[in-house]
Structure 1
Amino acid sequence: MPIVTTSDSANTEPTGADSGDQETGPARGSAREVAPRASTGGLITRVVIFPMVVLTALAALLGTMYLAYVVDPEKNLHDFPIALVNQDVGDTIGNPAEPVNFGNQISDALASRVPADKIDLRRTSISDATLQMQSGKIYGAIIIPSDFSKRLGILGAGSVVPGDIERPIITLQTNPRTGAFATQIVLRIGDQALTEVNRQVGEQLTDQVNAQLAPAPGGPPAPELSGASRVTLSDPVQVIVQQYRPLPDGTGQGLSAFFYALLLLLIGVVGAMVIHTMIDAQLGFIPTEYGPWYVHYPTAAISRFNTLLIKWGVMVVTANIVSAVFLLVGYALDMPIDHPLALFLYSALAMIAVGVTALSMLAAIGTAGLLANLILFVILGLPSSGGTVPIEATPGYFGWMAEFEPMHQVFMGLRAIMYFDANGDAGLTRGVWMALLGLAIGLVFGAVVSRYYDYKGLHRKNFLAASAQA
């Protein structure tokens, strides 16, 4: 029969960190009867000082991680990938003996002006840039068209010859599927770099036109450039901003994948805590409180390893149910879901991997596993996920953490499914393999530790009471 009493006496029942066989022996009494009375100083240390120290350290870690993550992305910018595509074939501009290629000049100027320690400017072809945009490997592209030099020459000639002309175009292409913050960085970099290049090209073009207008010796005076022509020549290039594959409605401007990943991680961590606590309560290892009362069931004769197997099984079944629930919620909210099967399977795999590892941590170190799981999966995971601020706009150590932190792997996998047509190169392949690796580590770690505890006879019992009896 379960023991039902008031919660004031709950601390008199022996509890433990994880499930296992309960040794038989003298009838269970309260810890007050068996354990020696603690000194006032020791009690104050355990009840007051120790929780304060733990919470302060946790707050310091939170403040460091989250403020460093968002305070100054421009200062932290490094290796931010942008493609530079120069398709310009050049032109003679009225002088076949001296062909020019303004596209090459602009490319060289951009490469020299863009800070190499902040921007990874990749000179590539249009086809390769398109492939990298499709897989989310670059955040944007600067595209110089094939007729750029020709149009620039026509603009120079049109400043003194009547007729309709069009300014040459450079396209600044953004990749909105990589996130709104990354798009803003691309726009800011493109505006700064292209404004300066435009000024230099304008000065060069003005000088060339003035040289062409210079009068021949003994000839008639040269015509003067009009004010409008000078203004046009000083700002000759038109920069067009274009979105590559704009996101549909219902994606939160590229944030839905991040929050979906956050949901999966929270269910994995919080779900492991709920499963761990509820199953331990039903097996009699911890009491369950109901307001001023609590219920403490008789301790079950079950090993730590078998208890962990039960918890793992519950986590696996629940993860699949929750994954289906998230899909239904997404459909109800009109969230675009082009690959429902892939989203369902990957979500379930991610929750199982996180939940199994979190349960193994609780089995290994008990209550302290709650804090360890919180730090590993949430506190360190959120800022290193790259879901809101790109990894390339955060301090360098976030990039190191992103190599193994679960939230980054889950976010990249979900982003590939939701925004990049379930493209493996966009992060899905890595996300799947990292989830399987995390699951394997969790299974091996939990099995080895729990079997070791069982082998050594380290059963669950009140440590203070056992020490006093010894």
Structure 2
Amino acid sequence: MATTDTAEPTRRRHLSPLRWAFPIIVVTLLASLLGVMYLDYVVDPEKNLHNFPIALVNQDVGEDLTVGGQTKHVNFGDQVSEGLQKAVPADQIDLRVLGVNEASLEMQSAQVYGTIIIPSDFSKRLGILGVGSVVPGDISKPELILQTNPRTGAFATAVVQKFGEQALTQVNAQVGQQLTDQVKAQLAPPPGAPPTELTAATRLVLAQPLNITVNQFWPLPGGSGEGLTAFFYSLLLLLVGMVGAMIIHQLIDSALGFLPTEWGPWYVHYPRASISRLSTLLLKWSAVVVMSLTVSGALMGIAAALGMPIDKPLLLFIYGALVITTVGFTCTSVLAAVGTAGLIINLIIFIILGLPSSGGTIPIEATPKYFGWLAKFEPMHQVFLGTRSILYFYGDGQAGLTRGVWMSLLGLAIGILGGLFITRFYDRKGLDRKPSA
């Protein structure tokens, strides 16, 4: 039978104005930090764009063209490539000149968000277009290909498409002007002869000589939420680890008599158990481990039932359990170290600072630069990279799984060592969990 506290307080206590205002001040400060982080994250991604990686592949082999009775080898692809590199704002776009195989590998491992491809017959088709504009016959426009990488997220895809629209439209106009001048030179009449005028249709064709083709490099399967399922699954893992650890901390402390238990009008405060801080923490950790396994399996079952594609179920289960365990161990260690204030610390680390720096909805390269610094160690970004790799890139280590696993193991080690050290220190100092005399 439970023993309850029935004794009345020896004297009435009233809150001082400062004690009454303290929680309001704390919440206001937390809300302000939350507002800065979340609104600064999303207000102006275009202004914040920096080092956004896009690949440029020039496969053009060139062509021998005869102009004015002279034959020379030209490579319009090189000219377009050089023009793009000069025109692209280097502080916003990281334009990487790569070979076709290297660019494909970068796309498959989420290292670049898109690729511009200049085909091998670019110069040949452009030369044919110039000749065909003044000679009867069927012709086709040369092509520039813009490949998006939808598995990196919908917002990243939108940035690539907008960049392609702006940059390639400018290239189209520049090539058109160059081609028009070339055709006019070919049609230049002998001295004293009347000039040859281009028809309106010819001028229109020459003004926009390129066909810009946009396609997806590796389309997402159905049920992927346009690339958002990885973010929300990561968020679930992190929230379960944090909230689950707090619930376990609260309920075990209540069962051991360190906190009162209150369910509606029912209030009970069990006798305080004779147990050390270290043993209490180990007890909570055991509950976190079991919780991580059951919840990771439950989340996978729910995802599968809702039609979310999971190509690597065992890998996702193990990684999910690792993430939940890491977050749970760290949260309980923080609570063991600082007590109730650990709730605020965990909230700041995992939610307020973590979500905006995750890169799950807006790429890190489209957020203020300090988010990139936070993303180097904030748990949510590491969790997202690993989850995205498993769900969209078949568990490719370079796509983020390797980093996600190692950072999770590092976080787990920090949580374990920190928790063991602080609880052992408190126990050795005789700092028992009991009211001060």
**CA apart distance, 1:2:** 2.0
Give the secondary structure class of the aligned counterpart of 1:422. coil
Distance 1:230 1:357 in 2: 68
In the alignment, is the contact (CA less than 8 A) between 1:106 and 1:197 conserved in 2? Answer: yes
Q: Are 2:144 and 1:170 aligned?
A: yes
**CA apart distance, 1:461:** 1.6
Question: Which residue of structure 1 lines up, in the alignment, with residue 21 of structure 2?
Answer: 49
Select which of 24, 42, 52 maps to 1:70: 42
**CA apart distance, 1:338:** 0.4
**CA apart distance, 1:94:** 2.2
Give the secondary structure class of the aligned counterpart of 1:94. strand
Provide structure 1 residue ranges, at least 5 long, that are not aligned to the other structure: 10-28
Q: Alpha-carbon deviations, 1:48-77, whole Å to 9, x = none? A: 211111011001100100000000000000
Distance 2:45 2:274 in 1: 55
Question: Which residue of structure 2 lines up, in the alignment, with residue 189 of structure 1?
Answer: 163
Query: TM-score by structure 1 length?
Result: 0.90
Question: Which residue of structure 2 lines up, in the alignment, with residue 354 of structure 1?
Answer: 327
**CA apart distance, 1:426:** 0.4
Question: Which residue of structure 2 lines up, in the alignment, with residue 140 of structure 1?
Answer: 114
Question: Which residue of structure 2 lines up, in the alignment, with residue 2 of structure 1?
Answer: 2
**CA apart distance, 1:44:** 2.0
In the alignment, is the contact (CA less than 8 A) between 2:146 and 2:213 conserved in 1? Answer: yes
Q: Alpha-carbon deviations, 1:410-440, whole Å to 9, x = none? A: 0000000000010000000010000000000
Q: 1:273-352 residue pairs with structure 2 within 5 A? A: 273-352=246-325
Select which of 161, 168, 171 maps to 2:135: 161
**CA apart distance, 1:4:** 3.9
Give the secondary structure class of the aligned counterpart of 2:74. coil
**CA apart distance, 1:192:** 0.5
Select which of 62, 68, 87 maps to 1:113: 87
Give the secondary structure class of the aligned counterpart of 2:213. strand
Q: Are 2:56 and 1:84 aligned?
A: yes
Distance 1:460 1:44 in 2: 29
Aligned residue-pair number: 435
In the alignment, is the contact (CA less than 8 A) between 1:4 and 1:293 conserved in 2? Answer: no
Q: Are 2:354 and 1:381 aligned?
A: yes
Provide structure 2 residue ranges, at least 5 long, that are not aligned to the other structure: none
In the alignment, is the contact (CA less than 8 A) between 1:416 and 1:424 conserved in 2? Answer: yes
Q: 1:404-415 residue pairs with structure 2 within 5 A? A: 404-415=377-388
Q: Are 2:79 and 1:102 aligned?
A: no
**CA apart distance, 1:151:** 0.3
Question: Which residue of structure 1 lines up, in the alignment, with residue 338 of structure 2?
Answer: 365
In the alignment, is the contact (CA less than 8 A) between 1:3 and 1:295 conserved in 2? Answer: yes
Q: Are 2:74 and 1:129 aligned?
A: no
Q: Are 2:32 and 1:60 aligned?
A: yes
Using CA pairs below 8 Å that are at least 6 residues apart, which structure has the higher relative contact order?
1
Distance 1:37 1:291 in 2: 23
Give the secondary structure class of the aligned counterpart of 2:258. coil
**CA apart distance, 1:296:** 1.2
Distance 1:415 1:51 in 2: 38
Identity of aligned residues (%): 62
Question: RMSD across aligned C-alpha pairs, in angstroms?
Answer: 1.4
Amino acid in structure 1 at the alignment position of 2:110: G
Amino acid in structure 1 at the alignment position of 2:280: T
Distance 1:77 1:406 in 2: 23
Give the secondary structure class of the aligned counterpart of 1:82. strand
Question: Which residue of structure 2 lines up, in the alignment, with residue 22 of structure 1?
Answer: none
Distance 1:249 1:4 in 2: 56
Query: TM-score by structure 2 length?
Result: 0.97
Distance 2:196 2:121 in 1: 28
**CA apart distance, 1:223:** 4.0
Distance 2:72 2:50 in 1: 40
Select which of 175, 193, 200 maps to 1:201: 175
